[in-house]
Structure formats: structure tokens, C-alpha cells
Amino acid sequence: MARHSKLHQKRILITGGTGSFGHEVVAKLLEETTPREIVIFSRDEKKQHDMRNRFRNSLLTFIIGDVRDRISVFNVMKNIDYVFHASALKQVPSCEFFPDEAVKTNVMGAGNVLDAAEEYEVEKVVVLSTDKAVYPINAMGMTKALMEKLMIAKARTSKAKTVFCGVRYGNVMYSRGSVLPLFVEQMGRNLPITITNPDMTRYLMPLPVAIDLVLFALENGESGDILVRKSPAATVQDTADAMIDIFNHQYGSQIIGIREGEKQHETLVTCEELLKAEEYEKYYRIKHLSVIDYDKFFSEGEAIPFPKEGYTSENTTRLSLRETKELILSLAEIQAVLKR
């Protein structure tokens, strides 16, 4: 019997569906669910062609379009039951150089998706966010934070029956723009692998775990929720050393320093959010008020003791070098590179 019975004979839309997330979630949906249709909405025809050839499944429909284009978003949303909003500009350097483009995709594009979902009363929308949206210091994080705010506002004000919720996770290992593919590329060219700051910490989340979080949100998310998967972290130095050991790399590493828009540590849940979060064994559920009394909002507060710190890559479970190496070796992408 298929898992996630809620998706039985449903039409599922994945914006930005040709990326790392799209490939992984489509594989899982086809294996564990019985949807009527999975619609991949993106602007890159080459990636759509490659994905079509990979899956060769009649349940997949590929539609060229851009979340920035309001008309195309409204057209693709007709008759959709569930939405995974993964379309985004995700690389910190790109967004730093072109913040206006990040706004168009990550904020205005998300607004188009939320508006269209409300208009056609889809059952649920899950938006994908990032730890960089928390206490943001770069354009990518700032635009993702605004995307979260748009989702929360829509959940609070919409008259439709649609449930609007989101997920937030840290670095997805071996996803596009992440550090592990860069290390592999540098090692393949017999170069030292570059690290920013040895003591910098980052969450480490395999892509299948990120997919499980999104499907958990689909099953359990309530309107306005942001669901966070607890995740271990490692130092940048241990991550680099683990890769050097795994590949017996003879050229070591090189420290290049922290770049514009980078943090020493990342945060998944703020102190302020912990006040209203529900904690489970593997997750945090950050709740948001469904109704705000605006008179009180402007003039009154509440005396609540603040936690001393949020949930960060510095205070989460810290992986040792051995544990980091074992986690990296568990990745299918790393296993494939080793076979080559």
C-alpha cells in the first residue's frame, strides 16, 4: 500500500522542479505515492529534457514558465491540489551581486505562487526556506525571510480553505551550490580544497532527510506553520578533512577567509521563535498567530523570559571528524564519485 495516502490521485505542482529537490522528491513520490499527476514548472528546457529522459513516466507533466510571470503561474495552478514551492535563487554570491533579481524570484515570484494557490483554492502549499533566512545578513537570506513573511501573512488573511505552511532547513549536502561538489571538482583538478574559516560551523542534512521534512509538512503542517528538522552540524575544517580522507587527496586544503554575506554559525530557530515553538524529537513547529489584535499589537506586549540562545549550528549536535566522514560516505553522490 502506498505511503502518504493523502496524495492518492492528487495533482502536485513543484515549482523549480528540475533542481536537486525536484529530482529527489519526484523519485520518492513515484515510489511511495499514487498521484494523478506531478507537474514540473520551471524555465530551463534543457533540465526539463534531462529530467523527462531520466524518469520516462507518464505521470510527469513538464511546463515551461517562470514564477516571476504572474500569468504563467496562474495558468499552471488550475486544478492543482498540492504545491511544493522550491523555485528560488539560492546561491549567496549570485544574490549579493544581483539582489534585484533575488527579489523578483524569491519574493515577488513566491507572492505569485501564493496568490494563485489562494485563487484556485489548492489544498496545501509548502514553501521551502533556509537557515539563511534567520537573522539574515545576505540578500539571499533576506529575500527568503520575506518569502516566509508572505506565507505567514497569506495564512493569516486568506479566506480560502488553502493551508499555507513552510519548512526551513540548513545546508543540504551535495545540492546545487553546496560545498561538497566544489570540493570534488577541486580535487579532480589536483588543487587544494578551499575553506573559509576552519571553526565555522554548518548544519549537515542529506537530501533525503530534507525531502522527509517537506513530506512531513505536507501531512502535518497547519496554516502559518514553519517546520524545522533538527540537524547535526560540523566545522568546515572537519568537513574538509573528511573529504580529504575519503578521497586520499594529496593537495590538502587552503584557507581563503570568510566572504561577504557569510556567517560564522547558522541559526534554524531564533530565541524569539522558540517562545512559540513546539518541540518534538526530530522537529520544531514554529506557530504563528492566526489572528492579530492590532490595537494590542501596537500598544501592548507580554512579559515572557527569553531563551539565552536559539537553535544554531554551534549548539546543535556536533559531529566528530569520524562521524562527519561516515555521513558524507553515506551520500549516494559521493559513492558514485568514488566508483568513477
Residues assigned a catalytic role: 132
| Domain limits, the chain | 1-170+206-231+267-312
Question: How much is the pLDDT for 143?
Answer: 98
pLDDT along the chain (340 residues), means of 10: 75 96 96 96 97 97 98 98 97 94 98 98 98 96 98 95 96 88 96 95 94 95 96 96 97 91 93 92 88 63 72 96 97 93
Q: State the fold for domain 1-170+206-231+267-312.
A: Rossmann fold (3.40.50)
At position 287, the amino acid (one-letter code) is K
Neighbours of 273 (CB within 10 A): 21
Q: What is the pLDDT of residue 2?
A: 47
User: Alpha carbon of 321 to those of 183, 218, 325: distances in Å?
Assistant: 16, 34, 6
Cell 527569553 found at = 306
- C-alpha cell belonging to residue 253: 586544503
User: Which residues make Cβ contacts (< 8 Å) with residue 235, sequence separation at least 6?
Assistant: 198, 199, 200, 201, 318
pLDDT at site 269: 97
pLDDT at position 1: 35
pTM, two decimal places: 0.92
Instruction: Tell me what pLDDT residue 258 has.
Output: 86
State residue 304's pLDDT score: 66
Q: What was the pLDDT predicted at 6?
A: 85
Buried b / exposed e along 14-39 (16+ C-beta atoms within 10 A) = bbbbbbbbbbbbbebbeeebbbebbb
| Segment (H or E) for 284 | strand 283-286
